[in-house]
Structure 1
Amino acid sequence: MPSVRPLRPDLVLALLAALAFSSLGTMGAWAQETPAPQRDRPDSLTVMTYNVLYATPDTGTVRAIEAVDPDVVALQEISEPRLRHIADELDYYFHHSDEHEANEEDTGLLSRYPISRPTRYGALLYLTVDDPIRIANVHLSPYPYEPYALRDDEMTPREAVAQARKTRSPEIKPVLDALSKSVQEDVPAFLMGDFNEPSHLDWTPAAAEAGLHLGLEVPWPTSRAVTERGFRDAFRVAHPDEVKRPGYTWTTLTGDPDEVHDRIDFIYVAGASVSVETAYTVGLRDASPTDRSVSGYPSDHRSVVTTVSLAPSPSDP
């Protein structure tokens, strides 16, 4: 649960419902069945995806999240005890996911809004009693890592695409299937995480001509599968020029000239009421450009942050 604090009267019933629900065996560390009523629907939402790196100190992770002050954070490489501690430090609700196709029991969510219904791949949050949003959080397989195989001439682009499809399509498909109803019903949906695969929106002819990404054009399959299901890549919506704004999230830890810097951490959004306002990376500036630098940033991945505006829901007066 979040850190100890006085409960508002309107939260007491919600908390009791949460305890009853958790006794039935939820898919995660903490859940709240009935959302606490919110008076007004927010007109914007800031979300963050952040691979925190196993065994890094929580102080740096907390500092990075505090610098952004997001409403929702999707974390990867996070244990349940660490997630609980960070939630206590920052006063967030939290949910730790069980193992499934798209993670190895190392993903978790932080939220300023009650986590009303944990799901296999994330959670349903309520901004008000009538305004749900769907959050999914993934950590896809890192191996084989095709960009390194391309760098080392171990694969052709065609072989890299085939291998990526073989490795990650079985992981991402059930997540997209689970989100399809929300997308079809125009419920705001966010698919976030460490995909361990670049984007077809980055390894383009223009980027190859500019000498980026090993000078190769590669139609990476996972990002294509996601966008074909109605999701938009928030960073590319905000920064459509993949040459001027490559948006690298991998990696912060090396200046090795043979390193393949890339964008493998994503925030995808869906829903007609959701408009991307800003998107940026958070990390260190030592090895390659980042948008916001945080002292002592501990992870080997840059995090990604986006702020979206939310159009009024049909139920709003």
Structure 2
Amino acid sequence: MTYNVLYATPDTGTVRAIEAVDPDVVALQEISEPRLRHIADELDYYFHHSDEHEANEEDTGLLSRYPISRPTRYGALLYLTVDDPIRIANVHLSPYPYEPYALRDDEMTPREAVAQARKTRSPEIKPVLDALSKSVQEDVPTFLMGDFNEPSHLDWTPAAAEAGLHLGLEVPWPTSRAVTERGFRDAFRVAHPDEVKRPGYTWTTLTGDPDEVHDRIDFIYVAGASVSVETAYTVGLRDASPTDRSVSGYPSDHRSVVTTVSLAPSPSDP
């Protein structure tokens, strides 16, 4: 589960949303260390706060049903068993400038939006991908989750533009391209390959503003031959369509994303 909990929202609603899903691992954004500790205590999770996150210091944290054996700058190595490690990374990339708003307001062309997005977030995502490269190369199950604050090139496609989605524009967003070029798969798009039928919006849960640009900016990426995506869905407000699973009192302006995966046994297993 990846979940931007929104600064200063009530923990009761956040706890309720996590309880409704009962995930093994949660990547949280906009979370302080004291708040993370409190939620972990409430739900009986192990936790790790990434207080050295380069883009947003003291901003991201992990909850895990499994012991967190090797915390890192961007996440942790978890051991499901002594022979089965998985690598988790959690990011909260820069929210501003938010290029879809500039596109909506005719302040940028798609080419300019891509250039601005590359300038803003490429320096943030590159060290994360570099830190994960060894795990990906060694075929360790690896998960990159978070609030990327940038849409996906898998969503702003010619088919989506023809259907009138995403301002009717095709945009090859650079951060999602950089992630997939490093061997990651977008779990939501694996489970729901039709970007027109299942846009999977995570931003924003707020409704009523006809000028708001709704989009998918919260992602779970997976890597590793043993990782198979089984399901992927969004969690949010009861009255905010199209949320896949609704939680009464859901407090955040982001829908969270939940993915269920299966892990094939390693070749050394009996």
Select between 96-105 and 207-216 the one with higher mean Cα deviation: 96-105
Deviation at 1:53, TM superposition (A): 0.3
Give TM-score, length-normalised by structure 2. Answer: 0.99
Unaligned runs of 5+ in 2: none
Q: Say if 1:253 and 1:287, in contact at 8 Å, map to a contact too.
A: yes
Secondary structure of the residue aligned to 2:231 is strand
Q: Does 1:203 find its partner at 2:135?
A: no
Once residues 102 and 270 of structure 1 are traced to their aligned partners in structure 2, the CA distance between those partners, rounded to angstroms, is 23
Q: Say if 2:53 and 2:60, in contact at 8 Å, map to a contact too.
A: no
Encode CA deviations 1:160-211: one digit per residue, 9 max, x unaligned. Answer: 0000000000000000000000000000000000000000000000000000
> Considering only CA atoms, is the larger Rg found in Structure 1 or Structure 2?
1
Encode CA deviations 1:21-41: one digit per residue, 9 max, x unaligned. Answer: xxxxxxxxxxxxxxxxxxxxx
Deviation at 1:314, TM superposition (A): 2.2
Structure 1 partner of 2:109: 156
Q: Does 1:109 find its partner at 2:67?
A: no
Once residues 244 and 126 of structure 2 are traced to their aligned partners in structure 1, the CA distance between those partners, rounded to angstroms, is 31
Encode CA deviations 1:282-301: one digit per residue, 9 max, x unaligned. Answer: 00143431100000000000
Once residues 114 and 251 of structure 1 are traced to their aligned partners in structure 2, the CA distance between those partners, rounded to angstroms, is 33
Cα distance change, pair 285–245 in 1 and its aligned pair in 2 (3 A): farther
Once residues 255 and 236 of structure 1 are traced to their aligned partners in structure 2, the CA distance between those partners, rounded to angstroms, is 27
Q: Say if 1:101 and 1:170, in contact at 8 Å, map to a contact too.
A: no
Secondary structure of the residue aligned to 1:183 is helix
Give TM-score, length-normalised by structure 1. Answer: 0.84
Report how many residues are paired: 270
Deviation at 1:306, TM superposition (A): 0.2
Measured on the aligned residues, the alpha-carbon RMSD in Å equals 0.8
Unaligned runs of 5+ in 1: 1-47
Q: Say if 2:2 and 2:219, in contact at 8 Å, map to a contact too.
A: yes
Cα distance change, pair 175–229 in 1 and its aligned pair in 2 (3 A): same
Q: Say if 1:246 and 1:263, in contact at 8 Å, map to a contact too.
A: yes
Deviation at 1:106, TM superposition (A): 0.5
Q: Say if 2:2 and 2:258, in contact at 8 Å, map to a contact too.
A: yes
Q: Say if 1:115 and 1:125, in contact at 8 Å, map to a contact too.
A: yes
Q: Say if 1:255 and 1:287, in contact at 8 Å, map to a contact too.
A: no
Deviation at 1:50, TM superposition (A): 0.1
Deviation at 1:219, TM superposition (A): 0.3
Once residues 55 and 67 of structure 2 are traced to their aligned partners in structure 1, the CA distance between those partners, rounded to angstroms, is 24
Secondary structure of the residue aligned to 2:160 is helix
Once residues 62 and 240 of structure 2 are traced to their aligned partners in structure 1, the CA distance between those partners, rounded to angstroms, is 28
Q: Say if 2:53 and 2:59, in contact at 8 Å, map to a contact too.
A: no
Using the aligned pairs only, state the percent identity: 100
Encode CA deviations 1:74-99: one digit per residue, 9 max, x unaligned. Answer: 00000001100000000000000023
Q: Say if 1:130 and 1:315, in contact at 8 Å, map to a contact too.
A: no
Encode CA deviations 1:212-237: one digit per residue, 9 max, x unaligned. Answer: 00000000000000000000000000
Once residues 259 and 287 of structure 1 are traced to their aligned partners in structure 2, the CA distance between those partners, rounded to angstroms, is 14
Q: Say if 2:25 and 2:62, in contact at 8 Å, map to a contact too.
A: yes
Encode CA deviations 1:123-182: one digit per residue, 9 max, x unaligned. Answer: 000000111100000000000000000000111000000000000000000000000000
